[in-house]
């Protein structure tokens, strides 16, 4: 089933589940990645399917820093997933008309998916017919089931077709005549067949069952009037500074740092920096700088540390500068 491009309107809902910030709508995921340099981490898996460390799906988990940045820019808002489900399902619930409208919408999606699948099957069948006729030049070499609409039968089913029974001779004279004479119908004439076009009437296709990935509709994820900003670690100023300069930010746990900074989409670029954010007056061990610099150089990246510069005006949080330092290991 091909995903349709749906226009996204801001702000979009971010669902908070067990202190984690999740996105369930694929249109929201692609929109944030394309327009706001937010990549997140796919966490969805299927049970008993191997290689889940590579091929993951929805939902997309956002770092607290990503959620905080989107809320501050009024691009998104946080919805308490548990409270919203309790209020909508255990409270007033859905009315009869709302339930019918939701079921009709699901049936319409299933009908469109079935029609699309049938159309693709017909296109594959036409391509196979064309390939066979170009190879043999005779329509009679094509199995009968390829001219029928719908999925093709297996080879065993096509081989099991009964052959037309020959007319039994009941008269002795006719039997003698058939032994020595050459009847005109001893060699059956070939019938020229033409490929038939399968019907594409939407009403003839059984709708596919659709499992919604989101709870809205039928629920309404309304923006709360007042909400608290997501809590963030002390490294948030560094994250915000790099994001404002066009970097894609991703968790850096695989390299023992807080963030990995990409100059563009992670699908196109390797990360350039291993980033750690600190407070301005925070004390740290010199060996951490040496180890980070050697690690960054070993994996062909720079080790970047930074923090928000301390000023005398403690109430002004918007105009504070963030200073960054890049450390590399030079072998001697």
Residue numbers of the domain that contains 253: 233-332
**270 in catalytic set:** yes
- Flag whether 2 is in a domain: no
Angle between helices 64-72 and 236-244 (to 10 degrees): 60
Q: How many domains does the chain have?
A: 2
pLDDT at 169 over 50: no
pLDDT at 186 over 60: no
Residues 197 and 108 in one domain: yes
Set 205, 240, 241, 301: catalytic member: 301
- Flag whether 80 is in a domain: no
* Mean per-residue pLDDT of the chain: 79
CATH of the domain at 275: 3.40.1350.10
Set 262, 272, 300, 310: catalytic member: 262
pLDDT at 34 over 60: yes
**301 in catalytic set:** yes
Set 223, 270, 310, 317: catalytic member: 270
**262 in catalytic set:** yes
pTM for this prediction? 0.66
């Amino acid at each position: 089933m091909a995903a349709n491009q749906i226009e996204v309107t801001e702000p979009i809902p971010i669902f908070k589940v067990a202190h984690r910030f999740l996105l369930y709508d694929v249109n929201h995921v692609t929109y944030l990645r394309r327009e706001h340099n937010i990549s997140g981490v796919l966490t969805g898996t299927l049970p008993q399917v191997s290689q889940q460390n590579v091929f993951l799906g929805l939902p997309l988990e956002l770092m607290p820093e990503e959620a905080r940045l989107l809320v501050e820019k009024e691009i998104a808002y946080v919805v308490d997933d548990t409270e919203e489900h309790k209020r909508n399902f255990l409270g007033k619930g859905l009315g009869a008309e709302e339930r019918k409208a939701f079921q009709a919408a699901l049936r319409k999606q299933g009908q469109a998916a079935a029609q699309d699948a049938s159309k693709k099957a017909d296109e594959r069948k036409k391509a196979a017919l064309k390939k066979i006729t170009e190879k043999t030049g005779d329509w009679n070499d094509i199995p009968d089931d390829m001219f029928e609409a719908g999925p093709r039968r297996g080879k065993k089913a096509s081989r099991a077709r009964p052959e037309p029974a020959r007319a039994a001779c009941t008269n002795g004279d006719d039997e003698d005549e058939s032994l020595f004479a050459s009847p005109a119908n001893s060699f059956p004439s070939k019938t020229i067949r033409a490929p038939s076009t399968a019907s594409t009437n939407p009403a003839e296709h059984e709708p596919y069952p659709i499992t919604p990935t989101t709870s809205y509709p039928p629920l309404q994820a309304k923006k709360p009037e007042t909400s608290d900003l997501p809590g963030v670690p002390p490294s948030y100023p560094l994250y915000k500074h790099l994001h404002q300069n066009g970097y894609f930010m991703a968790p850096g746990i695989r390299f023992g740092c807080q963030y990995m900074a990409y100059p563009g989409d992670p699908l196109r670029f390797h990360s350039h920096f291993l980033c750690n954010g600190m407070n301005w007056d925070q004390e740290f061990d010199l060996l951490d700088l040496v180890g980070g610099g050697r690690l960054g150089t070993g994996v062909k990246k720079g080790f970047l540390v930074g923090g928000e510069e301390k000023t005398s005006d403690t109430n002004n949080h918007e105009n504070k500068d963030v200073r960054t330092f890049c450390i590399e290991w030079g072998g001697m």
